[in-house]
Amino acid sequence: MIRAESKASRYTTEFSNGTAHGISDLGRERGGQGEGFPPHDLLEAALAACMNMTVRMYAEHHGIPIGTVSTTVTTEGGAEETVLRCQVEIEGDLDEATRTKLQQVARRCPVRMALSKPIRFID
């Protein structure tokens, strides 16, 4: 569970899961102070971090030596659809089959799987 609470600055919002804390805000061009990540960036960050961790966990579990994993997620929005464009780069001396497998593993991270299903909101 995440709880978000407004702060003194116009749109600055602190969020927490009870252990870790973060700040979200809008940029100055949108009326905020630029003190934290804009909300859409947080969505991209959640997906990028999950894909990154999933690759690293799989590699560790299967004894696959890898270097740095870099994941980039960008959002492209249209009137009918939101597209999350994902790119995973894995450093290491890997054969093509292993690199392909790790790319497939990244696509099965829990956040991506959740975002791939129909989503309902309960207020």
How confident is the model over 47-100, as pLDDT tens digits? 999 999 999 999 999 999 999 999 999 999 878 899 999 999 999 999 999 999
Supply the pTM of this predicted model: 0.93
Give the right CATH number for 39-116 from 3.90.180.10, 3.30.300.20, 1.10.3720.10, 3.40.50.920: 3.30.300.20
- C-alpha–C-alpha distance, residues 20 and 114, integer Å: 22
Report residue 21: phi and psi, to 5°.
Answer: -130, 150
